[in-house]
Amino acid sequence: MHEKASRTGKEIASFVNSYIAELNGVEKRTPKISQEFRKLKHPPVQSVKVNFDGAYDGRFCQSASRIVVRNSEGDVLLSSSKIHQEVTSAFAADALACLKAAQIGTDMQRPEIIIECYSLTIIKKCKQKRRDKSQ
């Protein structure tokens, strides 16, 4: 009994079969990540690459920053994660992660540092020449 309605065995079997078919269809439609996207490109010799990302939880106004630093061979030199309290938006979460990534990169004192992320908004903000007045 569900929702106070009784169903016959045939109706239940039909429902289960169509549900399984639907799940199989979803599985087939799930895009596969290409090898090119999956494999990170290593930085040039004598350089390091700092990858960062932020995650935001609006229910608790918290975010998490994740940072990984790799050398030209792809070896992880440093990894870091941090929880931030009282964060107001996903943009702020990414901005906090970017700030930490820049601090880590600067502290490493390498001749060339590449800082990389997937947030187009953060990339655009970092490239602006004028002072930004956003949060």
How many domains does one find in the chain? 1
Average pLDDT over residues 22-34: 58
Average pLDDT over residues 33-54: 73
pLDDT in tens, 62-91: 999 999 999 988 899 999 999 999 999 999
107 is a domain residue = yes
CATH number at residue 82: 3.30.420.10
35 is a domain residue = no
Residue-wise DSSP of 60-129: TTEEEEEEEEE-TT--EEEEEEEEEES---HHHHHHHHHHHHHHHHHHTT-SEEEEE-S-HHHHHHHH-S
- Residue 128: HSE in the Cβ half-sphere, 13 Å Cα cutoff: 11
What is the helix (H) or strand (E) element at residue 28, kind and residue range?
helix 9-29
